[in-house]
Amino acid sequence: MRIMLIDDSKTMRNIQKSVLKQLGYTEIEEACDGQDALSKVAAFNPDLCLVDWNMPVMDGLTFVKTFRQKDKSTPLIMVTTEAEKSRVIEAIKAGVNNYVVKPFTPDLLSERITETLAKVSA
Amino acid sequence: MDANLIAPFITSVQHVFSTMFQLPVEVGDPSIKNTNHCSHDVSAIIGMSGEFLGNVVLSMPTDTAIAVVALFTGEKLDTDSDDFADAVGEIINMICGSAKASFQRKNVSISVPSVVIGPNHRVTGQSDIPCVLIPGTTDCGELVLEVAIRPASSEAAAA
């Protein structure tokens, strides 16, 4: 299972990486914004992406819209401080499969990752 | 300033610290800030735009910031490291993101955070926006949230 973490905060990527490692996922690629992620997806070919919303250069929503033009199936989880219902709807319309609001507990993130992967493989 | 604008920040600072660091924050009485100098030596700053304008600053003494970042990252980082600034910036990002979700107005955006470290630094916001200091106490030390925001439209500001 190859998982890409897209967040401009290294601290947040490290926390997510720690949760993923506890779940047994160790094949992880990191990107610091949407553009960086787009430049890495072809080579890494992720099975799951965790995407922040507010990032410099290219935000997460733009990344999701661009990514979905070519890839309709790889699951995307938005992990963001954007907690308004309208934002969640906007993200889902753009193509995210699940949504985690920061701050989160490791248990919640773990639950959403497991839930998302289970839905995709069902 | 409308108390309804301050309450979400009180709730969110407590929520972020308890969820991410398991660190309760006891919040003191808010007051109006009368100086441009930040309350402490480590400040994380974020701008708000859209239907609300202004900025929000999380200011902590260096020792408190080091201790909080250690809870966040799992390691004691030097204040000179990029990772330290990244972690402090992410804290204010979560506080403001969480607070703005409580606003009635929907179109509010937050900027990418900035972090300033050093004694007696100043953060100058818009002069027409009063700044409210929200003091907090934790087991890691004191912190202050400085909230200087107002509705963007003059009609809303007058309401």
Please answer whether residues A53 and A60 qualify as being in contact, where contact means their C-beta atoms are separated by less than 8 angstroms: yes
Per the model's pLDDT, the better-predicted residue between B157 and A93 turns out to be: A93
At position B38, the amino acid (one-letter code) is C
- Tell me if B148 sits within 8 A of B125, measured CB to CB: yes
**Which residue in A11, A81, A84 is closest to B86 by CB distance?**
A11
A9·B20 Cβ contact <8 A: no
Helix (H) or strand (E) holding A98: strand A98-101
Task: Tally the domains of chain B.
Answer: 1
- When pLDDT is cut at 50, 70 and 90, the band that residue B101 belongs to is confident
Show residues of chain A in contact with B100, CB under 8 Å: 83-84
Q: Which residues of B touch A101 (CB under 8 A)?
A: 97-98, 101
> Which of B16, B106, B110 has the CB atom closest to A54's CB atom?
B110
Q: Which residue of B has its CA nearest to A17?
A: B73
**Would you state the pLDDT for residue A122?**
78
The owner of tokens 């969110």 is B12
pLDDT single digits (tens) A83-116: 888 899 999 999 999 999 999 999 999 999 999 9
Is the alpha carbon torsion for B87, B93, B95, B97 positive or negative?
negative
Q: Kindly state the percentage of chain B with pLDDT values over 90.
A: 68
Contact criterion met (CB < 8 Å) for B90 and A86: no
Q: Does any CB of chain B come closer than 8 Å to the CB of residue A83?
A: yes
Residue numbers in B near A80 (CB within 8 A): 97
Q: What is the rounded average pLDDT of the residues B137-149? A: 96
CB contact under 8 A, B83 and A55: no
- Mean pLDDT for the stretch of residues B102-122: 85
Check whether B158 has a pLDDT greater than 50: no
Closest CA to A116 of A12, A36, A41, A25: A25
Greatest extent of chain A over all pairs of C-alpha atoms, in Å: 35
Which range among A20-24, B32-36, B95-99 shows the weakest confidence by mean pLDDT? B32-36
Please state the ipTM of this predicted complex: 0.86
Domains of chain A: 2-111 (3.40.50.2300)
Dump pLDDT digits (tens) for A74-89: 999 999 999 888 899 9
Cα–Cα distances in angstroms (integers) from residue B129 to residues A88, B19, B34, B52, B112, in the given order:
30, 31, 12, 11, 21
Task: Check residue B40 and give its pLDDT.
Answer: 86
Looking up residue B37, the CATH number of its domain turns out to be 3.40.1550.10
Q: What is the pLDDT of residue A41?
A: 96
pLDDT digits (tens, 9 = 90+) for A28-38: 999 999 999 99
Residues of chain B in contact with residue A103, where contact means CB-CB under 8 angstroms, are 15-16, 19-20, 94, 98
pLDDT of residue B104: 67
Residue of chain B whose alpha carbon sits nearest to that of A82 = B97
Provide DSSP, A23-89: TT--EEEEESSHHHHHHHHHHH--SEEEE-SS-SSS-HHHHHHHHHHH-SSS-EEEEES---HHHHH
Q: Which domain holds residue B138?
A: 3-158
Q: Does A89 contact B at CB distance below 8 Å?
A: no
User: Which residues, other chains included, contact A115 with Cβ-Cβ below 8 Å and sequence gap of 6+?
Assistant: A98
